[in-house]
Amino acid sequence: MTASPADAGLRTAPGPTGVRPAPAAALVAVLGRYAPVLPVVLMVAVLGLPLTPGSAGTGGGSLADAVSGLVVAVCVAVTLRRAERPLARTAAILLGMPVVGIAVAAAGADSPSTALVGMVRYCQIFVLVPVSVLVLVRDRRDFRLLAWSFVGLALWQGGIGIHQYLTGTGASYMGEDIRAVGTFGPTDVMGMATVVSYGLVAAVGLALGARTAARRTPALLCALALLLPLALSFSRGAWIATVVACGAQVLLAGVRRAVRLFAVTAAAAVVLVGGFGIGTQLLQERMSSITQVADAPDQSVTDRYTMWAAAVDMWSEHPATGVGLKGFPAHRDSHASLALSSGSDTAGAGAAFKRQPLLSPHNMYLLVLSEQGLIGLMALAGGWIALLLLALRRLGRGAHTRPGPDCGLVACGLLGWQLVDFVYADIGGPSTVLAALVIGLAAWWGLAPQALLKEAATP
């Protein structure tokens, strides 16, 4: 089917009278061109809004969750309009596999109402939204728009985080209100770190894969700008995942091309931390605590490893199906040692002191293993690994084609970051919807027909 000029992304030539379209008409044409993917952009954008009190870290729905429902509804409408099968067989299998483990775990849950809530949440994040993104993203321009939306959100949240550190209005950390958390508040301290990491990884992929300086330079500058708020988040898991993901992107893009990027990044880190002394002592203490597992670890490390051990113990009693969906909190105390504290202290960033209970192991793989057993873990993690391998294979085959490998580097980097971060975190909080978007983008890159990848080759 021949694409219209608007669909092909071409500029409309002047008419017979030599008069170009009015700005309003041009805006309408652009909105029409990107209409299917705009709800996904909106889902990212609403995460830049201040959260309502109590919406972070409580497990309740957020505005981003509501917009994700709109994304699914638009996907259904687009599918009905196209009147064709929306997913190929491989995509349907990989993205549909989690439903098996989720359903089995829900059937074995202690509380039907809690299991229903958990089933809806898991299907939303790991099935419905990724499928919707796969269907709604039509070509590389749609993909790049979403990648830049990650970067824009990260810059916004990171800017707020830097202001919080400099003015002492952030979340409480080591007795000072300096932890950068953006608009997510002290009960979701991983929210800003996650958003900034996504933006940094997306910017690095866009910079490494760009064919022109006009595209490469802005992405590189954004990546450098996001290093500081990521450091000030004091999130060890986000640091580790970002280093691994960006390092993998560099290797995938070619080491020679990335030497200058490494040099500039290292120089910027030396200037910011060494030259200006930004957070030197606290950052050093936080980084050194990563390896302090047996040698006087801090309480957060002790709690994390204690909950990991409890999750493994739960799984050992129910190896196939786990203890049931959303069952970790109910079984935690009977499997955890006395080393586990009653909760973590949260304060600052405009919120009063609060004792937040530890209701998950902060490890997605162990959470799934304890609640869904081997069936659920193989369905979820197996699908993620398969998507990553498919994305890497396509990147390896077409990394040096004319359109450039930027979309592939972004997709592989984001999914790689997510898989590493899941060792130190699990789903929870408003930013969780971005994990669904990451899976959807990786699925599009790895599973979309080759014709869609070439569609945006014309500038």
Q: What is the pLDDT of residues 299-322, one digit of tens each?
A: 777 888 889 999 999 999 999 999
β-sheet with 171-173: strand ranges across = 176-179, 171-173, 344-348, 351-356
Residues 181 and 2: their CA atoms lie apart, in Å, by 48
Residues 43 and 34: their CA atoms lie apart, in Å, by 15
pLDDT tens sequence for the chain (459 residues): 444 444 433 334 444 445 555 677 766 766 667 788 999 999 999 999 987 544 554 455 789 999 999 999 999 999 998 877 878 899 999 999 999 999 999 988 888 888 899 999 999 999 999 999 999 998 899 999 999 999 999 999 999 999 999 998 888 887 788 889 999 988 888 999 999 999 999 999 999 988 888 998 999 999 999 999 999 988 888 999 999 999 999 989 876 666 766 676 677 666 655 555 555 566 556 655 555 544 545 677 788 888 999 999 999 999 999 999 999 988 888 887 777 776 676 766 667 677 777 788 899 999 999 999 999 999 999 999 999 999 999 988 764 455 678 999 999 999 999 999 999 899 988 899 999 999 999 999 999 877 566 644 333
Residues 82 and 76: their CA atoms lie apart, in Å, by 10
Calculate the CA 363 to chain-centre distance. 15
Q: Which two tokens stand for residue 104?
A: 């089995």
Predicted confidence (pLDDT) per residue in 278-292, tens digit: 555 665 566 555 555
Helix (H) or strand (E) holding 171: strand 171-173
Amino acid at 265: T
Residue 288 burial by Cβ neighbours in a 10 Å radius (0-12, 13-18, 19+): exposed
Strand partners, 348: 171, 351
Q: Which two tokens stand for residue 455?
A: 């569609």
Nearest of 439, 456, 433, 435 to residue 42 by alpha carbon: 433
Residue 120 burial by Cβ neighbours in a 10 Å radius (0-12, 13-18, 19+): middle
Strand partners, 15: none
Backbone angle region of 404, left / alpha / beta, with phi > 0 → left and psi within -120 to 50 → alpha = left
